[in-house]
Structure 1
Amino acid sequence: MGQTYFYHLTESPLSQTLPMLIGKARGAGWRVIVRGPSADLLDDLDKSLWLGAQDSFLPHGRAGGAHDALQPVLLCAPGEAADEEAECLMIVGGADVAPDEVAKRERVCILFDGFDGAALEHARGQWKTLTKAGAVAQYWAQEDGRWTKKAESG
């Protein structure tokens, strides 16, 4: 079973953290699926990724296109792009992930807003569900501009 990393966003917004994590996943040679709960959030992320700094350009696409299988990074809503080939799945905006999806991946990253009580509760529920199913999980939080591992499941 793959590993699940929980990222508690308190200092950097999703629009900054997601490209950094995608870059790391791509650096490992992984194909990435980014799953968000709504088309509006995915549209915002799509624009953010296209308009990023030139030195940080991340080629990507939205699910539903003719070339989905060729995209190194694919943005999708729940139910779209059930791609078994992607080694990394990134969950944003409170989208769900099932334990069997973790088992099929090298890494699942769950990014959640540290200032949103509902997002915190949802992430805690995901931690419990996934670790109970046997997933290895790590909890990462921001401190003074750096990411620090705060907890790891047994």
Structure 2
Amino acid sequence: MTEIRFYHLERRRVDQALPTLLEHALANGRRVLVRAPSDEMVAALNERLWTYDDASFLPHGAAGDGDPTTQPVFLTAGLENPNAATMLVRLSGADSGDADDAFDPVVILFDGRDEDALAQTRSEWRRLKDQGRAISYWRESDEGGWERAR
């Protein structure tokens, strides 16, 4: 059964937290699909991942960046999985789709300071819990890492 992890941002924005999350996933040998709620956010994240740290390189791509099968991290607003990722990072507001079960784990990254995102995420948590899904809740630590809260 797919493990679904809810990551609650309280201090950083999505574009600040995502690079570290992706670095950790790549260090563990994962291929990752990042599903954003819009093409505009995909473009902004694509740019951010190239520039977030002058001392780091995070290999990634999006539509128009060449062959997606060569990308260990692929950014999209759609439901496709062109890089054969095993891990999904779904940003708040992005379509969930039935295709989420093809990934393990699924990370739902949401900004707790956004009331709409918080309400949507709480609703999804209840729905998945009622279905008996394997879910966990993580929140940012004071040091910028993640702590499992449930």
Please classify the TM superposition score into its range, dividing by the shorter chain length.
0.7 to 0.9
Distance 1:116 1:124 in 2: 12
Q: How many residues align?
A: 149
Q: Distance in 2 between matches of 1:149 and 1:3?
A: 14
Secondary structure of the corresponding residue to residue 54 of structure 1: coil
Report the Cα offset of residue 121 of structure 1.
0.9
Q: Which region of structure 1 is more displaced relative to structure 2, 53-62 or 114-123?
A: 53-62
Q: Tell me the equivalent position of 1:147.
A: 146
- Structure 1 position 137, deviation (Å): 1.0
CA shift, 1:131, in A, is: 3.1
Cα displacement (A) at 1:44: 1.1
Q: CA RMSD in A?
A: 1.9
AA of the residue aligned to 1:109: V
Report the CA distance shift for 1:95/1:128 in structure 2 as closer, same or farther (over 3 A). same
- Partner Cα separation in structure 2 for residue 82 and residue 64 of structure 1: 15
> Which ranges in structure 2 are unaligned for 5 or more consecutive residues?
none
| Candidates 99, 102, 106, aligned match of 1:108 | 106
2:131 to 129, 133, 136: 133
- The range that moved more, 142-151 or 7-16, is 142-151
Identity %: 38
Instruction: Tell me, in whole angstroms, the C-alpha distance in 2 between the residues paired with 1:53 and 1:44.
Output: 15
Task: Give every structure 1 segment of 4 or more consecutive aligned residues whose post-TM-superposition deviation is greater than 6 Å.
Answer: none
Measure how far apart 1:55 and its partner are.
3.0
C-alpha distance in structure 2 between counterparts of 1:2 and 1:143, whole Å: 25
